[in-house]
Structure 1
Amino acid sequence: MSNELLLKNNKMGDNVLSRVKTLESKGDLRFPPNYSPENAMKSAMLQLQELKGSKKDGYKPALSFVTPNSVANALMDMVVQGLNPAKNQGYFIVYKDKVQFQRSYMGTMAVTKRVTGAKEINAEVIFEGDEVKYKTRNGKIVDLEHTQSFGNRDQKLIGAYATVVFDEDNKNYTEIMTIKEIEEAWKQSQSVFDGKFSEKGTHRRFPQEMAKKTVINRACKKLLNSSDDSSLLATQIKDSEQRQRKEIFDAEVEENANQELLDFSDTNVEEAEFEEVAEAKPIDHFVEVEQPEKQSAAQTIESEEEPF
């Protein structure tokens, strides 16, 4: 990557950081304790400099062909949510000529706590032979009891649940999924071909942890989507997810039109569960940057998020 390109992208990062500082000074943006936007931005720029295109396009550096505005939006998405890729709270991924910042399940938990005020988020898997009892009240799972013998942990995995814990017990939220429901979510992953899981993939090697991640993401996203928080954080989350869904959809439409298969990476995409494609609303505080000359596009990076 040329020094000129590095300087240009570092300047763009500085512009995003300046905009973030302005929002913070106005009281529109509050960061979690001990969060440093500067440190997060440094980690992000290092990862972006290492981000490559797909094998088909010769693994070209992503910053040489993705649109600068998409990079600015990705950086803004990361900082506004108070996340740091160095802490495995998210990662950057490329779709055609757009780069996105996507939360990991750890990042989703951190954001959910900030938006909803939750104290903690716990998940557990259910094995064949376990006894699980719960009641429903107004369509909400309450009083869940899970009894498990140690020997059952060698039995077949049949489900998982996650509970978002609040100060008041009556506010706790529990999401429970059967293994069939979990595997249907996994099949949304672009790393699963024709509904079949690779025996070397994370879904087969670490099914318990992947099941926990899936049910945690579902529980958190339902709370985030139903939140009436009108803060910049809540608005940014909703707008960025709409924009990302549209970018992914547009990439798929273009590739299908060319009768080519997308080479998406084996990341946390399966948990996004793209149920519908909404019209993207561009955020009104992204940083305008100069557009480079149009170059060949790449579909994605080839990376794999740690399952834990």
Structure 2
Amino acid sequence: MSTQSKELQVTKESMVDNVTNRIAELQEGGFKLPPNYSPQNALQSAWLMLQDVQTRDKKPVLQECSKNTIAMSLFKMVQLGLNPAKNQCYFVPYGKDLVCMTSYFGQVLIAKRAGLQDVKANLILKGDKFNYQIEADGRKVVTNHDQPFENLGNDIIGAYCVVTLPDGVQDTDIMTIAEIKQSWQQGAPKGNSPAHRNFEGEMAKRTVTNRAIKMYVNSSDDGSILDDDTPAMSPTEAYVNQEIKSNAHKKSIGFDEDVVDAEEVVEDKAESKQETTQQESMPNF
């Protein structure tokens, strides 16, 4: 086995296996994962992908990013029940920090788990005929969106996301491209990351979807991740229960590095608030 292979194996054992063990401990304390979700498969897929992820300086993130932020990004992926092999999330390096970012597909999955029937986002291109109306209850409804084939490839002037609520009623969130780019300015890359530059349309749909579903997802009771009638339990509560159960205070599990707050690298202010809440609930590695 080469020196590099040995180093990767050691890194895997100190991070992926650590996260796997920690999740198992939390589950013993009452923490629930989404039904039909395999954290082991997701972690293995993430590990394979991370070996190819590089920083802006073309250096491997497994060597350049701190062990703790790598572990935290993996933990967040599992906590949200996402799998990078299905393009539900991706890993982005920011200096020495590695962050797990939810993709558009991941957002749709989370929204459906929260009870929404459907989530669909579309781009509004220059030359499109787009109209909407505001209902008496304040909901926005798209009345017409005519997008001829020849408009494909035109400049993006906006985006909208239609969410279908559990009762079948639809609501729509609409953002201009100026609003979308202003949202991007809140993140560390200021909208200049490779994803923003090369996949502007997908990133625009991700941003408007995030705003459209955040109220429904954040106000859900976590019933979407439960497979029985057991009350939902945060990772912190599960961790405390497990610690009490196993007297784990007598041993130290985790990394020596301090937990790094990834708040500065989230997509927008609303997502920043959600990220902070999620990290506060995570047990330290």
TM over 0.5: yes
Q: CA offsets per residue over residues 156-212 of structure 1, 9 Å max, x none?
A: 754321111123134x3310122332343355562756xxxx9xx776876655543
Higher relative contact order structure (alpha carbons within 8 Å, sequence separation ≥ 6) = 1
Is the alpha carbon distance of 1:159 and 1:17 closer, same or farther for their aligned partners in structure 2, counting shifts above 3 Å?
same
Aligned match of 1:214 in 179, 189, 207? 207
Matches within 5 A, 1:209-248: 209-227=202-220, 229=222, 231=232, 243-246=261-264, 248=265
Distance 1:276 1:39 in 2: 27
Is the alpha carbon distance of 1:206 and 1:49 closer, same or farther for their aligned partners in structure 2, counting shifts above 3 Å?
closer
Shift of 1:76: 0.8
Q: Find out whether 1:36 has 2:31 as its counterpart.
A: no
Alignment-mate amino acid for residue 47 of structure 2:
M
Shift of 1:37: 1.3
Alignment-mate amino acid for residue 161 of structure 1:
Y
Contact 2:120 2:162 in 1 (8 A): yes
Distance 1:276 1:41 in 2: 24
Q: 2:178 is matched with which residue?
A: 180
Distance 2:55 2:205 in 1: 30
Distance 1:203 1:65 in 2: 23
Matches within 5 A, 1:159-308: 159-170=158-169, 172-186=170-184, 190=189, 192=191, 208-227=201-220, 229=222, 231=232, 243-246=261-264, 248=265, 272-274=267-269, 280=276, 282-283=279-280, 285-286=282-283, 288=285
Is the alpha carbon distance of 1:178 and 1:37 closer, same or farther for their aligned partners in structure 2, counting shifts above 3 Å?
same
Q: 2:23 is matched with which residue?
A: 20
Distance 2:158 2:276 in 1: 34
Contact 1:32 1:82 in 2 (8 A): no
Matches within 5 A, 1:5-154: 5-33=8-36, 35-55=37-57, 59-114=58-113, 116-127=114-125, 128=127, 130-141=129-140, 143-148=141-146, 150=148, 153=151
* TM-score computed with the length of structure 2 as normaliser: 0.69
Contact 2:117 2:168 in 1 (8 A): no
Unpaired runs of at least 5, structure 1: 237-241, 249-268, 289-308
Unpaired runs of at least 5, structure 2: 223-230, 238-259
Secondary structure of the structure 1 residue equivalent to 2:166: coil
Q: CA offsets per residue over residues 222-278 of structure 1, 9 Å max, x none?
A: 433444659457999xxxxx93214x4xxxxxxxxxxxxxxxxxxxx7xx1246976
Secondary structure of the structure 2 residue equivalent to 1:167: coil
Contact 1:72 1:286 in 2 (8 A): no
* TM-score computed with the length of structure 1 as normaliser: 0.65
Is the alpha carbon distance of 1:276 and 1:118 closer, same or farther for their aligned partners in structure 2, counting shifts above 3 Å?
closer
Alignment-mate amino acid for residue 244 of structure 1:
A
Distance 2:173 2:111 in 1: 14
Identity over the aligned pairs, expressed in percent? 35
Is the alpha carbon distance of 1:67 and 1:205 closer, same or farther for their aligned partners in structure 2, counting shifts above 3 Å?
closer
Alignment RMSD (CA, Å): 3.7
Shift of 1:146: 1.7
